[in-house]
A = this chain, B = another copy of it.
Amino acid sequence: MQAYSALLKILNQAIEQEQVLLKTAIPIELYEPMNYIIGLGGKRVRPLLTLIGCDLFEANPNDAINAALSVELFHNFSLIHDDILDNAPLRRGNTTVHEKWNHNIALLSGDGMMVKGFEVLSKSNEKQIPELLRLFSKTGLQVCEGQQMDMNFEIQEKVSVHDYIDMITFKTAVLLGCSLQMGAICANASLKNQQHLYEFGMHVGIAFQILDDILDVYADDEKFGKQVGGDIISNKKTFMLLDAFELADENQTKELNHLLYSNIISNDDKVKQVTALYDLLGVKELALKEANKHTDIALKHLDELDANQSKKNNLKEFALHLLNREM
């Protein structure tokens, strides 16, 4: 990340400036929650990717700062609304907006935050606005589609591994590709370079999400920030669970269904026994293989990118750093 300390400085300053504006904007009931959710931090991966996408082509990263802020505002809008949809009490260890205020405030300030994303985008370089708007709005719609697919999965009986990859692609991965490509657009990069960068970001996003699923089950209890096995307890249709259902024989399917829907088994036992089945079926390895496949595709696109080699190396290192979190 040291390679990006200058970009992070630019980004953090811009976010702080945006927060100063939000702090004094009225009506405060609309803007305070926006300031709150941005203030919860996070790694700012998406807007950083936008600046990186611009810097890669030797352009001034300041040219991409509005696009970067747009992406961060959109991402935070989606967090506010997703937390309503999931009825989540906590976000980054803090109370969610709808819990801290109420559902109506969360709904409306989320709406405002999304519009604000487009408003900030409109401050970009005039020449690049049409292209930025086309990409950003298309991606925004895909994120909504991914979120709807995820909601559908909860009540859908049969979900294939293929459906799952589609869902995480839309819900999470396309915004990473979009973030990078928006930076490239701001740098006037060629369409071919833009597309390689988009594909790189998108496939890193898919790999990241699959690894996240693995981490939820196989992380070291002490190093993992949240409860290991949380996805198993909540019957979340992850890559591994869907794979397990596809590979299980009749008895194993029965056992898996019993573990998921029994009311008498303890959470600890549920996690232990589902994990044992995962081990037996080898779904962790399959998930790792799938993640690696997408990492490889991503790196191939990075290879084909026509840009400064040392900057490409930095981006590769950054992506691998994101992917290789502690197991």
Asked whether A118 is an interface residue with its Cβ less than 8 Å from the other chain, the reply is yes
Asked whether A122 is an interface residue with its Cβ less than 8 Å from the other chain, the reply is yes
Check A115–B140 contact: CB distance below 8 A: yes
Asked whether A114 is an interface residue with its Cβ less than 8 Å from the other chain, the reply is yes
Check A115–B114 contact: CB distance below 8 A: yes
Please give the count of copies of this chain that the complex contains. Answer: 2
Check B151–A112 contact: CB distance below 8 A: no
Dominant secondary structure at the A interface: helix
Check B144–A133 contact: CB distance below 8 A: no
A149 to chain B, nearest CB (A): 6
Which stretch from A103-111, A225-233, A294-302 is at the chain B interface? A103-111
Asked whether A252 is an interface residue with its Cβ less than 8 Å from the other chain, the reply is no
The residues of B that contact A104 with a CB separation of less than 8 Å are 84-85, 151
Q: How far is the CA of A114 from the CA of B116 in the complex (A)?
A: 12
Asked whether A126 is an interface residue with its Cβ less than 8 Å from the other chain, the reply is yes
Q: Count A-side interface residues using an 8 Å CB cutoff.
A: 38
Chain A, range 130-154, C-beta contacts under 8 Å to B:
130, 133-134, 136-138, 140-141, 144-145, 147-149, 151-152
The residues of B that contact A269 with a CB separation of less than 8 Å are none
Q: How far is the CA of A136 from the CA of B133 in the complex (A)?
A: 13
The residue from B107, B108, B133 contacting A122, defined by CB atoms under 8 A apart? B133
Q: What sequence of 0s and 1s flags, for each residue 12-38 of chain A, a beta carbon within 8 Å of any chain B beta carbon?
A: 000000000000001101100000000
Check B108–A147 contact: CB distance below 8 A: yes
Q: How far is the CA of A148 from the CA of B149 in the complex (A)?
A: 30
Q: How far is the CA of A134 from the CA of B84 in the complex (A)?
A: 29
Q: How far is the CA of A239 from the CA of B114 in the complex (A)?
A: 31
Check A27–B148 contact: CB distance below 8 A: yes
Asked whether A79 is an interface residue with its Cβ less than 8 Å from the other chain, the reply is no
The residue from B107, B129, B145, B152 contacting A84, defined by CB atoms under 8 A apart? B107
Asked whether A81 is an interface residue with its Cβ less than 8 Å from the other chain, the reply is yes
A107 to chain B, nearest CB (A): 6
Q: Given A27-B152, A122-B133, A133-B129, do A144 and B112 touch, yes or no (CB 8 Å)? A: yes
Q: Closest B residue to A87 by CB, please name it.
A: B104
The residues of B that contact A115 with a CB separation of less than 8 Å are 114, 137, 140-141, 144
Asked whether A121 is an interface residue with its Cβ less than 8 Å from the other chain, the reply is yes
Check A119–B141 contact: CB distance below 8 A: yes
Check A145–B81 contact: CB distance below 8 A: no
Chain A, range 254-268, C-beta contacts under 8 Å to B:
none
Q: Given A118-B133, A130-B129, do A145 and B111 touch, yes or no (CB 8 Å)? A: no
Q: Closest B residue to A77 by CB, please name it.
A: B111
Chain A, range 58-79, C-beta contacts under 8 Å to B:
none
Q: How far is the CA of A130 from the CA of B128 in the complex (A)?
A: 9
Q: Mark A residues whose CB is within 8 Å of B.
A: 26-27, 29-30, 81, 84-85, 104, 107-112, 114-116, 118-119, 121-122, 126, 129-130, 133-134, 136-138, 140-141, 144-145, 147-149, 151-152
10 A/B residue pairs, CB under 8 Å, sorted by A: A27-B148, A84-B107, A108-B151, A112-B144, A112-B148, A115-B144, A119-B137, A122-B133, A129-B133, A133-B133
